[in-house]
Amino acid sequence: MRGLASLPKTAQIGIWLAVAALLVALPAVDRNGSHFNLLADAGVYVLLALGLNIVVGFAGLLDLGYAAFFAIGSYAYAMLASPQFNLHIPFWPMLLIASLIAATFGLLLGAPTLRLRGDYLAIVTLGFGEIVPQTFLNLNKYTGGPNGISSLDTPSFFGHSFGFSAIPYYYVILALIGIGLWLAYNLRDSRLGRAWMAIREDELAAKHMGINATTTKLAAFAFGASYSGMAGCVFASKLNLVSPDSFQFSVSVLVLAMLVLGGMGNIPGVVVGSLVLYTVNFIFLPQANNIAASLHLHLDFTNYRFFIYGIILVSIMLFKPEGLIPSRQRRAELRAGHNDPALAAQEQAQFTKVGAG
């Protein structure tokens, strides 16, 4: 499954471009608008997963409150582009503004956690993930409380309103994912990316390499949050409303599960993982009854949705713990426990070959 990474760079770029061309051309072929509605929503989760991958996959900082930044991005759009305060900042600059606001909160919420690692960090971020939606819920005066904020501005492109069609949102999210992928790859193969991974592997040794752990971790929180700020901006504008219950703990867990499922740290893996889990969670399970009926099975899944979802997650962790498309280190890490010298030698040979090629 490590096919993509072992191909020459031009071939890899070719594959990415082919996939991109296919996705761009899709609306010309497929006339069913509801498909693009789903794809655009799935895209929001891809963007979220790419962002969380920077924090958890690259820098190794387990963040259980990632939905907080998604909420902040969404509310940023809702407050700055709606009748709420009679501010109507256009959608395009808002993409940048929302991601900057989210990144700022990434720094603010990251700062108190710098000395924490592993379990402790997870618990504190969990707390932040709860505080942020609660704050939006209780700041009635500014956020509309439990009702949220509605009739957000509909984005427009050179004077053409997005209207009620999902296709413009589909293109926006596609473009954002493209940019997000490019930046994630850039970061991975850079001074900063190596510093993140060094901190993930051994923070003390990283400091001895002259790496400033404080700024490096904060950069991870800020970059991770900026992705979800953009995702939130698209999410809010597409839904035309925001409310605190869209950003529950379950959203943070879902995005984290997407990473784990796809292969933590591996960018194509994260994309595939988020698409698969989105399909299971938002398409397959809600329609399980219809699917069963079409197969002439008389089963009622209504009450078993989360049970099935849980079984799928547990099975994947049992049978493919490194994720669908694991990164090299996740594979090695999880295999490290298995004392299988033959396998180790085989892997070693494979790595050597890749290195030489």
Residue ranges that bind other proteins, judged by CB under 8 A: 183, 186-187, 189-195, 197-198, 201-202, 204-213, 219, 223, 328-329, 332-333, 336, 344, 348, 351-352, 354-356
Q: Which is nearer to other proteins, 139 or 345 (CB)?
A: 345
Q: Which is nearer to other proteins, 74 or 327 (CB)?
A: 327
Q: Which is nearer to other proteins, 162 or 227 (CB)?
A: 227
Burial of 332 (0-12, 13-18, 19+ CB in 10 A): middle
Structure tokens that stand for 53 in this block: 């991958």
Shortest Cβ 271–other proteins spacing (Å): 19
Terminal-to-terminal C-alpha distance of the chain:
17
Can you tell me the distance from the alpha carbon of 293 to that of 287, in angstroms, rounded to the nearest whole number? 10
Cα-flanking dihedrals φ and ψ of residue 238, to 5°?
A: -70, -40
Number of H helices, E strands in the chain: 17, 4
Can you tell me the distance from the alpha carbon of 147 to that of 145, in angstroms, rounded to the nearest whole number? 5
Shortest Cβ 302–other proteins spacing (Å): 44
Q: Which is nearer to other proteins, 194 or 305 (CB)?
A: 194
**Bridge partners of 87?**
82
Shortest Cβ 332–other proteins spacing (Å): 6
Shortest Cβ 50–other proteins spacing (Å): 14
Shortest Cβ 52–other proteins spacing (Å): 18
Say how many CA atoms lie within 13 Å of 324 toward its Cβ.
Answer: 17
Contact call for residues 87 and 79 (beta carbons, < 8 A):
yes
φ/ψ region of 62 (left if φ > 0, alpha if ψ in -120 to 50, else beta) reads beta
Shortest Cβ 26–other proteins spacing (Å): 29
Question: Beta-strand (E) ranges in the chain?
Answer: 81-82, 87-88, 156-157, 160-161
Q: Which is nearer to other proteins, 207 or 305 (CB)?
A: 207
Cβ neighbours, 10 Å, residue 215:
13
Q: Which is nearer to other proteins, 35 or 335 (CB)?
A: 335
Can you tell me the distance from the alpha carbon of 167 to that of 92, in angstroms, rounded to the nearest whole number? 16
Q: Which is nearer to other proteins, 159 or 355 (CB)?
A: 355
Can you tell me the distance from the alpha carbon of 151 to that of 43, in angstroms, rounded to the nearest whole number? 23
Shortest Cβ 64–other proteins spacing (Å): 23
String of DSSP letters for 159-202? TEE-TT-SHHHHHHHHHHHHHHHHHHHHHHTSHHHHHHHHHHH-
Shortest Cβ 97–other proteins spacing (Å): 18
Q: Which is nearer to other proteins, 185 or 284 (CB)?
A: 185
Shortest Cβ 99–other proteins spacing (Å): 13
Structure tokens that stand for 183 in this block: 């930046």
Shortest Cβ 211–other proteins spacing (Å): 5
Q: Which is nearer to other proteins, 127 or 321 (CB)?
A: 321
Q: Which is nearer to other proteins, 168 or 265 (CB)?
A: 265
For residue 329, the 8-state DSSP code is H
